């Protein structure tokens, strides 16, 4: 929303008007019947949580984003009437840190979202009899109304988020809402359970102090998640840096590496590998040619056939790649795939001439993915082959060059899902030397 279109501004102002209407009831019509002590304490806790990021001591380690403290808001939705629960949002929204312009409009937008969402959640919770269950300390009976409230809260945020993406960010309407609800459901559901526990404890003889203690394990879990996300971002940055370095040196890898990673991941999932191994295998596919950083650029870009000596130098790139990534601990099994992805099942590959089960499983996956993309990509010396033709060639070479299990897994998943590569290689950038070193007719890249 850096440059906000007029229609988006009108939408945000309309959301702000709706939010104002939600909180006005408690201020105009129910000012004497509201538990203002509960409202004030929850509002202060929420506003304080939103300021942790500015704290010199805790700020650097604090989880980012308002969603971190949804338990406080949802506890309000389960403890208070709808308008009073919506009022809990306001101080935190007004004080929230905003790093991008327009600051005021962004504050209004986020505050309006949360006010509308919490108001709707509280209304649904109240209609379904949730407040009686909470006041009676019957946690089991409150679970159903709380779940409904969380679903409505997620739905309101989804509708508003998708609308602003379409209006302010010009995201196509067909894609604006895609996946928003499902992505928010699990984390908000966990926060909703914590909020319900807070509400039940608050209404019990243990009171507000016990309820607020629920935030401690919640904050710790958010902190752990934040550390994981930072570590994951660092991993991705490392991968991107290596891939960009190879892309600059060898234009053929531009797009090819990402597609090999995608195909490797599809094979891994078809084989039923655990999610952690699937992700590492994606890294292996993306980085399989990183050893080209150690190959002289003149050979990678040579226009014409390679001499036997030059071919031997280029065939050192798996070993170079292994040396480059040896110290990157999070790559795990990917390192073996980078070293051995040019081995062949019959033992005629390189660099070590491994055969059969001697070749690591990850390397056998990447070899199939690498060959598949080589055949289905347009290069200066060959047009892209249809997927069916490429699969037929892989099946022809299965057992001698490729692992039949990996070939069958790729064929099965492509038959079910099709091949929709996320990136495409730049055409016209690959010298004729690329045709040198093809291990089987049209079936493998160098």
Q: What is the pLDDT of residues 310-343, one digit of tens each?
A: 889 989 999 999 999 888 888 888 999 999 999 9
**Of 443 and 180, more confident:** 180
| pLDDT of res. 254 | 65
Between CA 439 and CA 83 the distance in angstroms is 71
Measure the CA dihedral 313/316/317/320, to 10°.
Answer: -120
Q: What is the band of 434 on the pLDDT scale with cuts at 50, 70, 90?
A: very low
**Does the pLDDT of residue 64 top 80, yes or no?**
no
Decide which of 1.10.3720.10, 3.40.50.720, 1.10.3210.10, 3.30.750.24 is the CATH code for 230-435.
1.10.3210.10
Two structure tokens written together for 161: 């988020």
| pLDDT of res. 29 | 64
| Cβ neighbour number for residue 401 with a 10 Å cutoff | 22
Q: Give percent above pLDDT 90 in the chain.
A: 41
Between CA 375 and CA 445 the distance in angstroms is 8
| pLDDT of res. 45 | 86
**Does the pLDDT of residue 63 top 90, yes or no?**
no
The phi and psi torsions of 379 (rounded to 5 degrees) equal -125, 175
Mean pLDDT of the chain: 83
Question: Token pair 């009831």 is at which residue?
Answer: 25
Region 15-30: mean pLDDT is: 83
Question: Token pair 């390679």 is at which residue?
Answer: 306
| pLDDT of res. 438 | 36
Region 117-129: mean pLDDT is: 95
Q: Could you state, in order of their start, the residue ranges of all structural domains in the chain?
A: 6-213, 230-435
| pLDDT of res. 369 | 95
Best CA proximity match to 190, nearest among 156, 213, 228, 217: 217
Between CA 291 and CA 429 the distance in angstroms is 19
Region 60-74: mean pLDDT is: 62
Between CA 1 and CA 380 the distance in angstroms is 42
pLDDT tens digits, one per residue of 263-306: 999 999 999 998 889 989 999 999 998 998 888 888 877 777 88
pTM: 0.56
Q: What is the band of 429 on the pLDDT scale with cuts at 50, 70, 90?
A: very low
pLDDT tens digits, one per residue of 50-59: 776 555 544 4
What does 242-301 look like in DSSP terms, one character per residue?
A: HHHHHHHH-TTHHHHHHHHHHHHHHHHHHTT--HHHHHHHHHHHHHTTGGGGGS-HHHHT
Region 416-420: mean pLDDT is: 88
Measure the CA dihedral 202/207/208/213, to 10°.
Answer: -90
pLDDT tens digits, one per residue of 68-111: 568 889 999 999 999 999 999 998 888 877 777 788 888 899 89
pLDDT tens digits, one per residue of 130-152: 999 998 888 899 999 999 999 99
């Amino acid at each position: 929303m850096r440059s906000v279109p007029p229609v988006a501004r009108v939408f945000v102002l309309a959301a702000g008007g709706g939010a104002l209407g939600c909180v006005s009831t408690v201020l105009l019509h129910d000012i004497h019947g509201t538990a203002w002590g509960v409202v004030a304490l929850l509002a202060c806790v929420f506003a304080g949580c939103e300021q942790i990021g500015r704290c010199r001591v805790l700020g650097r380690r604090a989880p980012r984003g308002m969603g971190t403290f949804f338990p406080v808001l949802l506890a309000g939705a389960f403890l208070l009437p709808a308008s009073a629960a919506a009022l809990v949002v306001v101080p935190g929204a007004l004080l929230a840190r905003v790093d991008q312009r327009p600051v005021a409009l962004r504050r209004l937008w986020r505050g309006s979202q949360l006010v509308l969402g919490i108001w709707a959640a509280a209304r649904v919770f109240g209609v379904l009899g949730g407040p009686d269950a909470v006041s009676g300390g019957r946690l089991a009976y409150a679970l159903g109304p709380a779940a409904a409230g969380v679903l409505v809260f997620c739905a309101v945020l989804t509708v508003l988020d998708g609308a602003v993406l379409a209006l302010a960010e010009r995201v196509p309407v067909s894609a604006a809402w895609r996946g928003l609800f499902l992505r928010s459901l699990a984390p908000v559901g966990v926060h909703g359970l914590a909020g319900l526990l807070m509400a039940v404890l608050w209404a019990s003889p243990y009171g507000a102090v016990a309820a607020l203690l629920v935030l401690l394990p919640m904050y710790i879990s958010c902190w752990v998640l934040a550390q994981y996300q930072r570590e994951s971002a660092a991993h991705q940055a490392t991968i991107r840096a290596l891939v960009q370095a190879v892309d600059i040196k060898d234009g053929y890898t531009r797009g090819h590496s990402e597609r090999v990673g995608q195909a490797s991941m599809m094979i891994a999932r078809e084989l039923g590998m655990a999610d952690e191994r699937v992700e590492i295998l994606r890294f292996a596919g993306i980085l399989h040619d990183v050893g080209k950083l150690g190959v002289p650029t003149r050979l990678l870009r040579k226009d014409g056939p390679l001499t036997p000596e030059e071919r031997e130098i280029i065939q050192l790139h798996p070993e170079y790649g292994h040396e480059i990534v040896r110290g990157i601990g999070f790559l795990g099994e990917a390192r073996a795939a980078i070293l051995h992805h040019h081995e062949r099942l019959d033992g005629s590959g390189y660099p070590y001439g491994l055969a059969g089960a001697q070749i690591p499983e990850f390397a056998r996956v990447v070899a199939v993915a690498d060959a598949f993309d080589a055949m289905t990509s347009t290069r200066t010396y060959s047009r892209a082959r249809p997927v069916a033709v490429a699969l037929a060639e892989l099946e022809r070479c299965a057992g001698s060059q490729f692992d039949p299990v990996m070939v069958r897994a790729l064929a099965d998943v492509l038959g079910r899902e099709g091949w929709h590569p996320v990136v495409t290689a730049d055409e016209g950038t690959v010298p004729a030397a690329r045709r040198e070193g093809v291990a089987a007719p049209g079936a493998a890249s160098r």
